[in-house]
Amino acid sequence: MDIARITPFRVKTKLDRIDRIPEGIKMIHAPAKWKKGYKGKGIVTAVIDTGCHTSHPDLSGRIIGVRNFTKDGDNRDVSDYMGHGTHVAGTVAANFNKIGVVGVAPLSRLLILKAFDNNGNGRLDDMVNAIEYAIHWRGPRNEKVRIISLSSGTTVKDARLYLSIRRAVANNIMVICAAGNEGDGYVRTDEKVYPGYYSEVVQVGAVDCNANMAGFTNTNDQIDLVAPGVDIVSTYLDDKYAALSGTSMASPHVAGAAALLIEQMENEFGRALSEPEIYAQLVKSTMSLRYSKRVEGNGLIMLDVEQEDYYPH
C-alpha cells in the first residue's frame, strides 16, 4: 500500500490565549486587501489534511462541509488528533471575532477533508478520493471548490494521484502544495516530494517573517513562490493556539491569498476566472527576495507589492 505523510512540522509554542493578527498575515499584506473590502467571501478552499478541530471559536461559521476518508471514525468524523489540519485551516480562514487569530481570507469557507489518520499517515487512495470529492462537491448554494490546500508529501510518483491533480486543475481548481521540509540549505540540491513537484500545482516554499530562507525548505526547479512558514501562530487543538514551522504553514498563506485574489479579480472582471488566470494573478502578486529561482520561484507572495521591499540577505 502506497503511503503519503503530512509534511513534517515543528511545534514551537502552545498558547491558551492570543489576540493579534499573526505576523505572517501582516507580512503578505492581507490587511491591505481587507481594507479594500476583499476577505474571500464566497470562495471555498478544500483543506485535505489531518481533519480539523471544527468547534474552535476562531473557525465558527467558516466550515461549509466535512468528509472523512480514513478508517478513523465514520465519514463525518474529521476529528484532528495532530493539530496540523486545524492550524492550516486557521491560517486560511480564521474569522474576525475580536479574540484569537485571523486568517488570510477571513470570510472564505472551508471544506474539511480528512485524508490522513491520527498518526499523520495517508493512503494515496484516500488522497485521490478526497481530491475527486472536492472536484465534484457542491455546497447548499451550488458553491464549488476553487482551491485545494495539500500539505503532504510522498516520494512515490503515483499515476492515480497525478491524474486527479490534473482533473482538479482542468476543473479550474487551483491546487496549492507544500514544497516539503527536507531541505539541506544548499540551493543546488534537489529535494522533491509529490504532489508538490508536479508542474500543475502551485508549490510553496518557506521563509521566516524577516524574509530569510527557511533552512528546512525544499529547493528544486518547480518552486512557484514562497510564504511565511517559521513560527506561524494559528488555531490548534482544544480551542488553543500554537506556533508551528514548516512549508505546511507557508502553503495556506498562499491558499488564503488566492481566495482574496479570486474574489477581487472576478468582481473586477465580472466573470469567473480560469485556473491559469488565477495563477497569473498570484504571480503578479509576488516580490523577488533575490534568491535563486530554485529557492523562491517567482518570489514572496505579497498582496500589495508596492508597499515594501524585503532584501535581508
Task: Say which of 248, 251, 253, 285 is annotated catalytic.
Answer: 248
> Known catalytic residue: 152?
no
Please say if 84 is a catalytic residue.
yes
Whether omega for the bond prior to residue 57 falls within 30 degrees of 0, making it cis, is no
Give me the catalytic one of 29, 49, 126, 224: 49
Cβ 78 vs Cβ 88: under 8 Å: no
**255 Cβ contact partners less than 8 Å away, ≥ 6 residues apart:** 45, 92, 104, 147, 149, 176
CA distance 171 to 144: 10
Residue with cell 516554499: 205
184 is catalytic: no
Q: How would you write the chain as a 3-class SS string? A: CCEEEECCCEEEEEECCCECCCHHHHHCCHHHHHHCCCCCCCCEEEEEECCCCCCCHHHCCCEEEEEECCCCCCCCCCCCCCCHHHHHHHHHHCCCCCCECCCCCCCCEEEEEECCCCCCEEEHHHHHHHHHHHHHCCCCCCCCEEEEEECEEECCCCHHHHHHHHHHHHCCCEEEEECCCCCCCCCCCCCCCECCCCCCCEEEEEECCCCCECCCCCCCCCCCEEEECCCEEEECHHHCEEEEECHHHHHHHHHHHHHHHHHHHHHHHCCCCCHHHHHHHHHHCEECCCCCHHHHCCCEECCCCCCCCCCCC
Q: Which of 29, 84, 87, 253 is catalytic?
A: 84
- Residues classed as catalytic: 49, 84, 248
